[in-house]
């Protein structure tokens, strides 16, 4: 009865695991159908940034100078993802496609048609 399968004690008074020592590890404790980690595509990022800047330009051309919050609400920026609206707005100003006349205000650039 020393090594019988019903007895799970290697020493008197000490219990051991029912698994054998040769049991293999199962790997991660959770499972996800998505790729592990994130994948970043520079071309796709440029495409979406260009699209967002174009949306900003169009909205400002149509509605004129606006506060940042009004512009964001008009374009539904809360659905864009974290930081995307601010990044697009900053890039548009840096590229000269949107003007920043004052604190929290943005407007269309004036196109000189001479």
Q: Which residue has the higher pLDDT, 110 or 73?
A: 73
Strand partners, 9: 15
pLDDT at 25: 58
Cα-flanking dihedrals φ and ψ of residue 9, to 5°?
A: -130, 125
Over the stretch 5-48, which tens digit does the pLDDT of each residue have?
555 555 666 666 565 566 555 555 555 565 566 677 888 889 99
Determine the Cα angle at 105 with ends 107 and 96, to 5°.
Answer: 45
Q: Where are the domains of the chain?
A: 42-105
Q: What is the pTM of this model?
A: 0.61
């Amino acid at each position: 009865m020393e090594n019988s399968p019903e007895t799970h004690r290697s020493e008197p008074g000490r219990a051991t695991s029912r698994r054998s020592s040769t049991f293999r590890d199962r790997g991660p404790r959770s499972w996800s159908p998505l790729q592990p980690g994130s994948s970043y595509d520079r071309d796709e990022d440029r495409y979406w940034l260009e699209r967002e800047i174009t949306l900003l330009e169009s909205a400002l051309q149509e509605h004129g100078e606006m506060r940042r919050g009004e512009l964001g609400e008009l374009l539904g920026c809360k659905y864009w993802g974290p930081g995307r609206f601010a990044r697009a707005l900053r890039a548009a100003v840096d590229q000269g496609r949107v003007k920043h006349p004052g604190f929290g205000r943005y407007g269309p650039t004036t196109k000189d048609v001479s």
